[in-house]
């Protein structure tokens, strides 16, 4: 092992150190400050270019609008000025822009007030539920109507009770577009269902989350040696040959999703009173398998995708798998007993701080090539606040729930 790979493990865990906790909060505050520039007075939010400037083309997608509402709900709880305006703006645009008053549900893409993509995607609706739940936690007056509306749409249009998961995609008038079933949308729905449970106390949300996790992870990922299959047919049989959109449906396995599931399973285990022991087992197995197969031991970072023989398929390094690895290592480390999670927490943050955080323009570089040079092949500009800010905030709250819940309950402590 070369000196560049060395990580010190002496002393208390990083998460226990006041200076590290202050550093995390500072990183989160800088991200919130950067993304204030996304607010579009015409409605919704702009994208940011590589220098952090708003791209004024009017185009926006449902998952972008909803994620910003969710993130600024966290900013509101931290007491960051300007967060309330971002939440109000996003909530209004979800209801008056993305919501399809004619057919129900929420439109995927808009250009100012006109649909550019009228499809109804399970992925996007999962984030509507997350935004509504986070808005309810902070007491937004329109949260209940959004939560009720999207819950009805999910239950009547997407949820397949026999399978214990959702269908995927429809035309604007709800005609099915394909028999494709995907784990990515169901993973994010699991996150959103837990948020809805935390916001409302309604156990039906938690039960749905447990059913999805059982199907995707306990059944399919366990059978695949703790690799998370991404793509399925209408009968939930794994389709190993499927290749779709490189952003949302790449071929092979996506290690970042296994890390994301690892974090979510710990939360689900805790919210369910630690009754389902397999959740904790699976969370550890997913994490340890992924860091073994997907981390580049020479240069660092997680390969974006692997083939089914664990060989790099897309060798570029994206920012969000590192964010999810940080979050997963932090919550698993809080469970105690295994020093490997602290080692990986330090290692992933070390790589991210050295290569992914943009010290000049703010935010994170979304992609690095195999030589660790910033590129824009799949993502453009500064595409996301959600992953990076959660990597900064998740370590600061207890692992028994979401960041939103931890901040709501006053659990954030910088100095003990």
CB of 312 closer than 8 Å to CB of 326: no
**Catalytic residue list contains 46:** no
CB of 94 closer than 8 Å to CB of 66: yes
Query: Residues of 175-194 as b/e, b for ≥16 C-beta within 10 angstroms?
Result: eeeeebbbbbbbbbbbbbbb
Q: Which residues are within 8 A (CB) of 16 and not within 5 positions of it... i.e. 6 or more apart?
A: 416
**Catalytic residue list contains 257:** yes
Which position among 46, 140, 188, 387 bears the catalytic label? Answer: 387
Q: Any idea how long the chain is?
A: 416
Check residue 36 and report its DSSP letter. G
Residue 291 Cα distances to 226, 321, 326, 329, angstroms: 12, 11, 11, 10
Distance CA 70, CA 186 (A): 18
Closest C-alpha among 202, 20, 22, 229 to residue 129:
202
Helix axes 83-93 and 122-137, enclosed angle (nearest 10):
140
Which position among 257, 280, 355, 361 bears the catalytic label? Answer: 257
Q: Which residues are catalytic?
A: 257, 387
């Amino acid at each position: 092992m070369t000196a560049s790979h060395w990580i010190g493990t002496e002393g208390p865990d990083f998460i226990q150190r006041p200076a590290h906790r202050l550093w995390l909060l500072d990183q989160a505050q800088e991200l919130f400050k950067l993304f204030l520039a996304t607010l579009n007075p015409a409605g919704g939010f702009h994208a940011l270019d590589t220098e952090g400037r708003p791209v004024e083309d009017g185009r926006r997608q449902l998952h972008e609008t909803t994620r910003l509402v969710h993130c600024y709900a966290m900013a509101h709880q931290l007491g960051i000025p300007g967060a309330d305006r971002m939440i109000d703006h996003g909530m209004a645009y979800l209801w008056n822009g993305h919501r399809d008053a004619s057919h129900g549900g929420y439109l995927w893409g808009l250009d100012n007030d006109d649909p550019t993509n009228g499809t109804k995607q399970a992925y996007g609706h999962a984030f509507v539920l997350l935004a509504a739940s986070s808005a309810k936690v902070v007491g937004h007056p329109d949260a209940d109507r959004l939560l009720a509306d999207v819950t009805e749409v999910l239950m009547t249009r997407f949820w397949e009770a026999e399978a214990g998961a959702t269908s995927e995609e429809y035309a604007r008038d709800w005609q099915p577009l394909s028999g494709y079933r995907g784990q990515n949308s169901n993973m994010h729905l699991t996150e959103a269902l837990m948020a809805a449970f935390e916001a409302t106390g309604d156990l039906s949300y938690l039960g749905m989350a447990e059913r999805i996790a059982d199907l995707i992870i306990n059944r399919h990922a366990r059978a695949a040696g703790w690799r998370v299959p991404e793509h399925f047919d209408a009968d939930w049989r794994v389709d190993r040959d499927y290749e779709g959109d490189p952003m949302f449906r790449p071929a092979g396995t996506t290690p970042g999703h296994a890390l994301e599931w690892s974090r979510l399973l710990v939360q689900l285990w805790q919210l369910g009173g630690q009754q389902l022991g397999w959740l904790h087992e699976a969370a550890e197995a997913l994490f340890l398998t992924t860091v073994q197969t997907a981390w580049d031991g020479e240069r660092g970072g997680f390969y974006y995708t692997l083939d089914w023989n664990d060989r790099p398929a897309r060798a570029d390094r994206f920012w969000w798998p590192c964010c999810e690895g940080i979050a997963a290592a932090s919550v698993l480390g809080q469970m105690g007993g295994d020093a490997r999670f602290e080692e990986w927490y330090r290692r992933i943050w070390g790589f991210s701080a050295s290569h992914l955080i943009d010290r000049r323009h703010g935010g994170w570089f979304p992609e690095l090539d195999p030589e660790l040079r910033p590129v824009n092949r799949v993502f453009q500009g500064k595409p996301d606040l959600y992953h990076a800010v959660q990597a900064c905030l998740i370590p600061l709250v207890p692992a028994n729930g979401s960041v939103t819940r931890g901040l709501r309950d006053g659990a954030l402590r910088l100095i003990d």
